[in-house]
């Protein structure tokens, strides 16, 4: 039996995956409560103010985390994707000093390259950290040591940023649920207090934003190896963000083009979306420009269907 629409929290539904709308309607409700002089609503104001403050703080932290990623900063997944190219340089350099049959060689490659190219993100990062340590003090490999250390530091920093973004996303979602739940309680309480004065009750809520907000959430499916344009939009590169969500087991690439091609253009940035991940992405990360407004999704798998979601923030 489906839930009756009349008892569903309309604020939670409207702001699902839409943190910008959450902030807009929360600001409106907060300002109306703060300007109110009717003691009848003071308890509702006192209940909502700390939750609104939590929404603002969580949203700002989440947005700042996405904005802090510069154009030339690669994600941990992109950096690990470069590991084969790096190893193609480092392994031959090491073999000049320690041939493959030497007892020292397994110190650097205990399982060949598998230690660096397979396994969890943490295990792979740890393997490069161990390689960095094992190269310490070997004069003929000083250059290689420096390159390994820089790469390991970059991927470690990227992983920390990725984890921080995940924590920020969890925090803003918790703040959204708490705030929108209290807003629903406030609405129910006001209706009970003023059952014949709907206009006064409605004045505390941004009805227009809640009921007529523009489409900000886009979803779809990709067949194996399929590339699809998912939206065309003019963004503000300085402030706009996208939330990219991949709920399935198939990795996806996301990028902007000029609309004349569905392929990544030379020099263009793209975001790789691993399975079961959510990423807050700034326009510079995707190399957005006014002449590149067409957003494409590419299913990396040749055999498995993919699903995607893009939320405009």
167 and 254, same structural domain?
A: no
Q: How far is CA 2 from CA 7, 10, 180, in A?
A: 11, 16, 22
Q: Whose CA is closest to 58, among 182, 173, 183? A: 173
| Residue 72 pLDDT level (bands cut at 50, 70, 90) | very low
236 and 158, same structural domain?
A: no
For 46, the domain range is 1-213
Looking up tokens 């009921």 gives: 211
pLDDT at 5: 52
Q: How far is CA 122 from CA 80, 127, 167, 191, 242, in A?
A: 11, 9, 17, 52, 26
- Enumerate residues 6+ apart whose C-beta is below 8 A from 252: 222, 246, 272, 273, 297, 298, 299, 300, 306, 308
Q: Check pLDDT > 50 for residue 20.
A: yes
| Residue 117 pLDDT level (bands cut at 50, 70, 90) | confident
246 and 209, same structural domain?
A: no
What does the block give as tokens for 148?
């390994």
Q: Taking the CA atoms of 309, 215, 189 and 37 in sequence, report the sign of the dihedral they define.
A: positive
What is the C-alpha separation between 279 and 65, in angstroms, rounded? 11
Query: 64: burial class by Cβ within 10 Å (0-12, 13-18, 19+)?
Result: exposed
Looking up tokens 């839930």 gives: 3
**Segment of 31-40, 232-241, 259-268, 281-290 carrying the highest mean pLDDT:** 31-40
241 and 199, same structural domain?
A: no
Residue that finishes a domain, picked among 193, 213, 233: 213
147 and 43, same structural domain?
A: yes
- Enumerate residues 6+ apart whose C-beta is below 8 A from 201: 187, 190, 191, 194
182 and 51, same structural domain?
A: yes
Give me the number of domains the chain comprises: 2
Phi/psi at 272 (nearest 5 deg)?
Answer: -90, 130
State what percent of residues in the chain have pLDDT above 70. 90
- Enumerate residues 6+ apart whose C-beta is below 8 A from 134: 107, 108
Instruction: Tell me the average pLDDT across 126-132.
Output: 92
224 and 157, same structural domain?
A: no
pLDDT at 199: 92
What does the block give as tokens for 166?
């995940």
Q: Check pLDDT > 60 for residue 256.
A: yes
pLDDT at 29: 96
Residue that finishes a domain, picked among 171, 198, 213: 213
Instruction: Tell me the average pLDDT across 274-290.
Output: 84
246 and 127, same structural domain?
A: no
57 and 21, same structural domain?
A: yes
- Enumerate residues 6+ apart whose C-beta is below 8 A from 239: none
CB < 8 Å & 24+ apart, contacts of 5-12: 9/180, 9/181, 9/184, 10/184, 10/210, 11/180, 11/181, 11/183, 11/184, 11/187, 11/210, 12/176, 12/177, 12/180, 12/181, 12/184
192 and 87, same structural domain?
A: yes
């Amino acid at each position: 039996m489906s839930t009756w629409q009349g008892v569903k929290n309309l604020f939670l539904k409207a702001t699902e995956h839409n943190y910008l709308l959450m902030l807009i309607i929360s600001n409106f409700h907060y300002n109306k409560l703060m300007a109110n002089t009717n003691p009848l609503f003071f308890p509702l104001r006192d209940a909502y103010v700390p939750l609104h403050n939590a929404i603002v703080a969580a949203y700002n932290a989440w947005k700042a985390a996405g904005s802090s990623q510069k154009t030339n900063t690669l994600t941990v997944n992109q950096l690990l994707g470069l590991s084969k190219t790096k190893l193609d340089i480092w392994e031959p350099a090491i073999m000049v000093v320690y041939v493959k049959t030497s007892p020292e060689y397994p110190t650097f490659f205990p399982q060949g390259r598998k230690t660096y190219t397979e396994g969890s993100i943490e295990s792979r990062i740890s393997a490069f950290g161990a390689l960095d340590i094992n190269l310490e003090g070997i004069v003929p490999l000083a250059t290689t040591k420096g390159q390994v250390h820089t790469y390991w530091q970059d991927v470690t920093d990227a992983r920390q940023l990725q984890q921080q973004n995940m924590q920020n996303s969890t925090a803003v979602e918790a703040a959204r649920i708490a705030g929108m739940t209290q807003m629903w309680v406030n609405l129910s309480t006001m209706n009970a207090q003023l059952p014949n004065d709907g206009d006064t009750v409605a004045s505390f809520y941004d009805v227009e934003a809640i009921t007529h907000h523009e489409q900000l959430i886009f979803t779809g499916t990709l067949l194996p190896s399929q590339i699809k344009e998912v939206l065309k939009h003019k963004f503000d590169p300085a402030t706009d963000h996208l939330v990219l969500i991949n709920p399935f087991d198939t990795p996806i690439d996301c990028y902007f083009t000029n609309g004349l091609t569905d392929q990544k253009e030379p020099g263009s940035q793209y975001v790789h979306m691993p399975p079961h991940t959510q990423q807050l992405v700034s326009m510079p990360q995707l190399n957005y420009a006014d002449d590149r407004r067409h957003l494409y999704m590419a299913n990396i798998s040749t055999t498995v269907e993919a699903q995607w979601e893009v939320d405009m923030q």
